[in-house]
Chains A and B, each alone.
Chain A
Amino acid sequence: MVKIAVVGGGIIGLSSACCLKRKYPKIEITLISEKFSPNTTGDGSAGVLMPYLLQDTPKDLVERWSKGTLDFFLSLWKTPEGGEVGISLIPVSIVTSNDEVPPYGVFGLHELTPTALQRFNIPTLRKGYSFTSFTCEPMKLLPYFLQEFTLAGGNVEERKVMNLESLGDNFDIVVNCTGLGAREVVSDESVIPIRGQVLRVEAPSVFQLIMCADADGRYIIPNQESVVLGGTHQENDWNTKSTQEDTDFITSGCFRMLPSLKDAVVLSNWVGLRPGRPTVRLEAEIIKSTKQKTFTVNGTIIFQFFFQKFIFK
């Protein structure tokens, strides 16, 4: 009987574990992770369905993955659980000073008029898009996935995995969803942190997502109980403490786009390290375990849907 291990209990690991369990209910699957929600990277993010910082990952793959996620959110949105699970339908405006390519896989995509662009108070803006999309807060989605996984008979182990070879003795397939941890676990030094700082504020009258897609662009993302103001994307920056400089950078930019945010009470100031890589690694590899048993890592059978770079967006 095949035994599968999923390493990593963040958004990638949990969604993979659930997906596997749905497709192969009788197979024994074990989720192993050092950290679980609310202490994963994804927990701090706003959870916007929008590919971001995927570098050179092939476009057609990103499109396919995004579509899978969109279909998943749409189906959950139309069930009673949708809201509790963290899903929200939201109007989005993306504006840019460059010739940004319009986003794909969203609803009702339209270009913004020059008059509409003026409302954002950024004089260099040249283009903008309006559309409807989803947010899904990992803080709510992860517990939902974990519950589904365990109720379906999945095993959960809370421990740190040092390398995959040690798992190969007990498992035939290992799904590596370690994110930034892949630097240690599989010695992949191409995975680097992309530091993101965000503030969460109390602003219950913000009902739209505004994002400036420039390199120094800031964003405003409403969640259920707070509004996320961001952000930064500093490559190879390991600093997990928020800085005043970044706080000022974020707030000044956001207040310019939405002046009435000035009164908002700040609830938290948080930093997460996005697991950046030149491309998303999604591939199978056969390696030998410590006891010389062969096993498959990252088998391609499993990916029916794949969560995109929610992180901080």
Chain B
Amino acid sequence: MHIGVLGAGIVGFNTALRIQQEFPNVQVTLIADKFEEDTTSYGAAGIFRPGTNFLGPTPSITENWIKDSYNFYNEILQSEEAHKAGIFEISGYILASEHSFLTRNHFLEKLLPIYRKVSDEELTLCVGDWKYGSYFTTMKIESEDFLPWARTKFEVGGGKVLCKKIETFNDLGKFKLSAPFDVVFNCTGFGSKWLCNDTRLVPVRGQVFKVKAPWVKMFFYGDYDTYIIPGRRSVTLGGCRQLDSYNMTVSTHDSAAIWERCTSILPTLHKAEILKEWVGLRPHRDTVRCEIETFHIENRSVKIIHQYGHGGYGVTTSPGTAKYSVELFIESLRRSTGCGLTFTPLDSSTSSCGAKVSKL
């Protein structure tokens, strides 16, 4: 069997690693035309924080995705690899001046070691007329380190990486591969809009500053769209969420607005050195597409497992969606080939679906 993964962002690599975990002896090839700083993942602050609107096929599956993702990253966090993988613990505040619901998060409140209401004194830590707030401790996963770390792990595990551009799924039949693909995991994020002609995939444009402000050791969220998130190399100041905007250039109006909103919460940012500005298009979809489709490529039947549309929560949820997608694949193998798989059902809380493939 030859398994393919399309896309070298956080979803692609988390999926590639998950496949190798379940099928350690199978050849896996990852194909993408954009890597590292050219991926959407790279510019993301990478804070583990699913939006309250994030949705999978059902609320229960959504919760499991988030829980599985958290457990995946947390295991690395507690190990010596954490630093190399770009994963670390971070704490901070989410403040609201009008609506208390903005400070709540039903996903995180069950999951994180600390998620609590702030005290009155804590409301005075930031400039502004803050009425409500939450404090929580979560993780940050920096793609700048995680993607290379994941790639190394993938290649050491026997995985191959190819730099190629795909316009249609039929292009997969045109490459010279060790063997044709039997199954391909489509993790192309925004690229799926064109690859799958999916009109439900909509860009949500985001813009950020990356600044040097080493005194910022906590994150701060203020009301709508204002966030200050420190990282290893810089502090991310954001942001905006512009639906259906394809504008990839930095907008000076957005810059001015973001700068003003962030410095008004944390005046010390006035002295921050601006390193760069960056724009990304979040691959937003009303719900993440996680399903199997069968394609015919060069007279062969190939299963395509879609896994895209994570919006602004790719880093946060991709280990969970990767696990789910691989489970979908294993379930489909069991049904179609009947080759003696032992399998535990979907939505299981175990970390592995315990599948063994006896015939390849």
A residues lining the B interface (CB < 8 Å):
74, 77-84, 86-91, 107-108, 110, 113, 115-116, 119, 130, 132, 203-208, 222, 224-225, 259-264
C-alpha gap A88/B218 in the complex (Å): 9
Tell me the minimal C-beta distance from B140 to chain A in angstroms.
Answer: 8
Chain A residue with Cβ nearest B213: A83
User: Which of A79, A81, A107 makes the CB contact (< 8 A) with B125?
Assistant: A107
Residue B101 is within 8 A (CB to CB) of chain A in the complex: no
C-alpha gap A199/B218 in the complex (Å): 23
Contact call B119/A108, Cβ cutoff below 8 A: yes
- 11 of the cross-chain contacts (CB-CB < 8 Å) are A82-B268, A90-B217, A107-B125, A116-B114, A130-B114, A205-B232, A206-B88, A207-B218, A259-B78, A260-B82, A261-B83
C-alpha gap A83/B273 in the complex (Å): 12
C-alpha gap A275/B137 in the complex (Å): 36
Residue B129 is within 8 A (CB to CB) of chain A in the complex: no
Q: Give the contacts of B264-286 with A (CB-CB under 8 A).
A: 267-272
Contact call B218/A110, Cβ cutoff below 8 A: no
The residue among A86, A87, A91, A115 with the most chain B CB atoms within 10 A of its own CB is A91
Tell me the minimal C-beta distance from B111 to chain A in angstroms.
Answer: 12
Closest 9 CB pairs of A and B: A83-B215, A260-B82, A83-B268, A224-B214, A205-B88, A91-B91, A80-B270, A260-B83, A82-B268
Contact call A107/B122, Cβ cutoff below 8 A: yes
Chain B residue with Cβ nearest A204: B232
* Contact pattern, B 246-272, Cβ under 8 Å of A = 1, otherwise 0: 000000000000000000000111111
Contact call A108/B118, Cβ cutoff below 8 A: yes
C-alpha gap A313/B355 in the complex (Å): 52
Known contacts A206-B88, A224-B214; A80 and B122 CB within 8 A of each other: no
Contact call A80/B267, Cβ cutoff below 8 A: yes
Contact call B268/A205, Cβ cutoff below 8 A: no
Known contacts A204-B233, A207-B89, A207-B90; A115 and B113 CB within 8 A of each other: yes
Q: Give the contacts of B71-88 with A (CB-CB under 8 A).
A: 78-84, 86, 88
Contact call A83/B216, Cβ cutoff below 8 A: yes
The residue among B82, B126, B214, B268 with the most chain A CB atoms within 10 A of its own CB is B268
C-alpha gap A83/B211 in the complex (Å): 13
Chain A residue with Cβ nearest B74: A119
C-alpha gap A79/B126 in the complex (Å): 10
C-alpha gap A266/B272 in the complex (Å): 26
User: Which of under 10, 10 to 19, 20 to 34, or 35 or more describes the interface residues of B?
Assistant: 35 or more
B residues lining the A interface (CB < 8 Å):
78-84, 86, 88-92, 113-114, 116, 118-119, 121-122, 124-127, 135, 137, 142, 213-218, 230, 232-233, 267-272
Tell me the minimal C-beta distance from B100 to chain A in angstroms.
Answer: 17
Contact call B215/A208, Cβ cutoff below 8 A: no
Tell me the minimal C-beta distance from B259 to chain A in angstroms.
Answer: 13
User: Which of A77, A107, A116, A264 makes the CB contact (< 8 A) with B113?
Assistant: A116
Chain B residue with Cβ nearest A224: B214
Contact call B215/A224, Cβ cutoff below 8 A: yes
Contact call A263/B78, Cβ cutoff below 8 A: no
Contact call B114/A110, Cβ cutoff below 8 A: yes
Chain B residue with Cβ nearest A222: B217
Give the residues in chain B near A83, CB-CB below 8 Å: 213-216, 268-269, 271-272
Contact call A77/B268, Cβ cutoff below 8 A: yes
Tell me the minimal C-beta distance from B83 to chain A in angstroms.
Answer: 4
C-alpha gap A300/B263 in the complex (Å): 39
User: Which of B90, B92, B124, B271 makes the CB contact (< 8 A) with A84?
Assistant: B271
Tell me the minimal C-beta distance from A202 to chain B in angstroms.
Answer: 11
Give the residues in chain B near A107, CB-CB below 8 Å: 119, 121-122, 125
Contact call A113/B91, Cβ cutoff below 8 A: no
C-alpha gap A132/B82 in the complex (Å): 24
Chain A residue with Cβ nearest B214: A224
Contact call A207/B271, Cβ cutoff below 8 A: no
Contact call A119/B267, Cβ cutoff below 8 A: no
Known contacts A79-B267, A80-B270; A208 and B80 CB within 8 A of each other: no
User: Which of A115, A130, A203 makes the CB contact (< 8 A) with B83?
Assistant: A203
Contact call A80/B214, Cβ cutoff below 8 A: no
Give the residues in chain A near B89, CB-CB below 8 Å: 207-208
C-alpha gap A110/B117 in the complex (Å): 11
Give the residues in chain A near B82, CB-CB below 8 Å: 205, 259-260
C-alpha gap A204/B90 in the complex (Å): 12
Tell me the minimal C-beta distance from A46 to chain B in angstroms.
Answer: 12
Give the residues in chain A near B83, CB-CB below 8 Å: 203, 205, 260-261, 263-264
C-alpha gap A205/B81 in the complex (Å): 12
Give the residues in chain B near A205, CB-CB below 8 Å: 82-83, 86, 88, 142, 232
